C-alpha cells in the first residue's frame, strides 16, 4: 500500500485547550477554522461522562460532528472529572480497589461514547505511582485494571490508545512495550504518541520515535516542546523540527487524527486554534516538498491574557 504525502494528514484540536467554550461552540469553531476533527476530552463542561442521559447527549454530539464533517477521538485526561480535589485521581494505580474501579468505569464509559461517536480511538494514561508503592505492584494494578477496558474496546471495535506521560508509571514508549508484553500483545491495545513528549524525554528524535512506533500507532497528539522540560508550547516556541516528523507520520500510513494538545493555553484557546492549523499545514507542505522547516511565525499572546 502506498502512503500519501504529509499534506494528507488529518489535523484536530483538543477540547482540553478550549475549556472556556461550550462544546457546540468549540466544534463550530474548529470546523470554521478548517480542522478535520477534534480530540474530545470527556469532562464536566464537554460531554460530562458522569451526568445523566449520557447516551442521548452522545447522540446529539454525534449528529453535530456529522453535520460539521469532523472526525473525533475520545480522550480521558480530564483533571478533576472523578475527584474534585486530586488531579487525575483516582488512577489505575491506587491502593484502594474501589478507587481503581472508578477509573475503570470512566474508561468503560469512554469506550461506549467512542463507539457511539464513531471515534477512531480511546486515549488513556497510567497515572503517577502512589507514594510507597513499588513499581511491580503498580504495573500489576495497571495491567489488571486494563483487562475489562480492553475487552470492551475489542467488543466495540474502538482501540485503546495508551499515552506515555512524563512522570507517570508508563512514561516512555519502552514502558508501553512493557505493558503490551505483560498483557500478551492484545490487538486492541495501541499507542497514543505525543510528539512533544518525544522531544522531552525519549532517546530517539521525534521523527525516529514516529517510525519506531508505527505498528502500534492509534492516536497522535502534537505541540512544541523543549528537551527535558514537560511544558506544552505553541508551535514555534519549542525545539521541534516538524516537517520531518510529519513526513515520518505520513509514511507510516497513519489514518487517525493528529490533535493539537495545548491545555494550559485554554485561556486563549480560539487564538491558538486559529494559529496552529496554518502552522501545521505549512510544515506539512514543507515536508511534502523538501523536508525543510518553514520559518516559524511568532505566536503573539493576546493582549491582557496570561500563560
Q: Where are the domains of the chain?
A: 6-289
Please check the confidence at residue 302 and state whether its pLDDT lies above 50.
no
Alpha carbon 246 to chain centroid, angstroms: 16
CA distance 236 to 241: 9
Give 6-289's CATH code, choosing from 3.40.50.720, 2.40.128.130, 3.40.50.2300, 3.20.20.150: 3.20.20.150
- What pLDDT shows up at residue 300? 39
Please check the confidence at residue 73 and state whether its pLDDT lies above 50.
yes
Tens-place pLDDT, residues 154-173: 999 999 999 999 999 999 99
Tens-place pLDDT, residues 268-284: 999 999 999 999 999 99
Q: pLDDT-derived band of residue 304, with 50, 70 and 90 as boundaries?
A: very low
- What pLDDT shows up at residue 261? 98
Q: pLDDT-derived band of residue 242, with 50, 70 and 90 as boundaries?
A: very high
Please check the confidence at residue 267 and state whether its pLDDT lies above 50.
yes
* Residue 279 CB neighbour total at 10 angstroms: 19
Tens-place pLDDT, residues 163-207: 999 999 999 999 999 999 999 999 999 999 999 999 999 999 999
- What pLDDT shows up at residue 3? 77
SS3 string, the chain, reads: CCCCCHHHCEEEEEHHHCCCCCHHHHHHHHHHHCCCEEEEECECCECCCCCCCHHHHHHHHHHHHHHHCCEEEEECCCCCCCCCCCCCCCCCCCCCHHHHHHHHHHHHHHHHHHHHHCCCCEEECCCCCCCCCCHHHHHHHHHHHHHHHHHHHHHHCCCEEECCCCCCCCCCHHHHHHHHHHCCCCCCEEEEEEHHHHHHHCCCCHHHHHHHHHHHEEEEEECEEECCEEEEECCCCCCCCHHHHHHHHHHHCCCCEEEECCHHHHHHHHHHHHHHHHHHHHHHHHHHHCCCCCCCCCCCCCCCCCC
- What pLDDT shows up at residue 301? 41
Tens-place pLDDT, residues 14-34: 999 999 999 999 999 999 999
CA distance 215 to 204: 17
Please check the confidence at residue 2 and state whether its pLDDT lies above 60.
no
**294: its cell numbers:** 518553514
SS3 string, 69-119, reads: CCEEEEECCCCCCCCCCCCCCCCCCCCCHHHHHHHHHHHHHHHHHHHHHCC
- What pLDDT shows up at residue 4? 84
Q: Averaged over 239-256, what is the pLDDT?
A: 96
- What pLDDT shows up at residue 290? 62
Please check the confidence at residue 149 and state whether its pLDDT lies above 70.
yes
Amino acid at each position: 500500500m502506498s502512503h500519501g504525502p504529509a499534506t494528507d494528514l488529518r489535523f484536530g484540536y483538543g477540547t482540553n485547550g478550549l475549556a472556556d467554550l461550550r462544546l457546540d461552540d468549540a466544534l463550530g469553531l474548529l470546523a470554521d477554522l478548517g480542522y478535520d476533527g477534534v480530540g474530545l476530552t470527556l469532562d464536566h463542561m464537554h460531554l460530562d461522562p458522569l451526568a445523566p442521559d449520557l447516551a442521548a447527549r452522545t447522540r446529539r454530539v454525534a449528529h453535530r460532528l456529522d453535520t460539521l464533517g469532523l472526525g473525533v477521538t475520545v480522550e480521558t485526561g480530564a483533571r478533576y472529572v472523578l475527584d474534585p480535589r486530586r488531579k487525575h485521581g483516582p488512577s489505575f494505580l491506587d491502593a484502594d480497589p474501589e478507587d481503581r474501579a472508578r477509573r475503570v468505569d470512566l474508561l468503560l464509559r469512554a469506550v461506549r461514547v467512542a463507539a457511539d461517536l464513531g471515534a477512531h480511538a480511546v486515549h488513556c494514561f497510567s497515572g503517577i505511582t502512589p507514594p510507597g508503592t513499588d513499581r511491580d505492584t503498580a504495573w500489576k494494578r495497571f495491567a489488571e485494571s486494563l483487562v475489562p477496558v480492553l475487552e470492551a474496546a475489542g467488543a466495540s471495535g474502538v482501540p485503546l490508545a495508551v499515552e506515555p506521560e512524563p512522570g507517570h508509571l508508563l512514561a516512555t514508549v519502552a514502558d508501553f512495550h512493557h505493558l503490551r508484553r505483560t498483557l500478551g500483545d492484545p490487538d486492541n491495545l495501541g499507542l497514543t504518541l505525543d510528539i512533544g513528549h518525544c522531544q522531552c524525554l525519549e532517546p530517539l528524535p521525534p521523527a525516529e520515535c514516529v517510525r519506531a512506533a508505527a505498528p502500534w500507532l492509534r492516536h497522535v497528539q502534537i505541540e512544541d516542546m523543549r528537551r527535558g522540560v514537560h511544558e506544552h508550547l505553541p508551535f514555534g516556541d519549542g525545539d521541534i523540527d516538524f516537517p520531518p516528523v510529519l513526513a515520518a507520520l505520513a509514511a507510516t500510513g497513519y489514518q487517525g487524527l493528529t490533535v493539537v494538545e495545548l491545555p494550559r493555553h485554554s485561556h486563549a484557546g480560539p487564538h491558538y486554534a486559529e494559529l496552529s492549523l496554518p502552522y501545521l499545514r505549512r510544515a506539512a507542505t514543507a515536508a511534502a516538498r523538501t523536508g525543510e522547516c518553514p520559518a516559524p511565525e511568532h505566536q503573539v499572546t493576546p493582549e491582557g491574557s496570561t500563560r
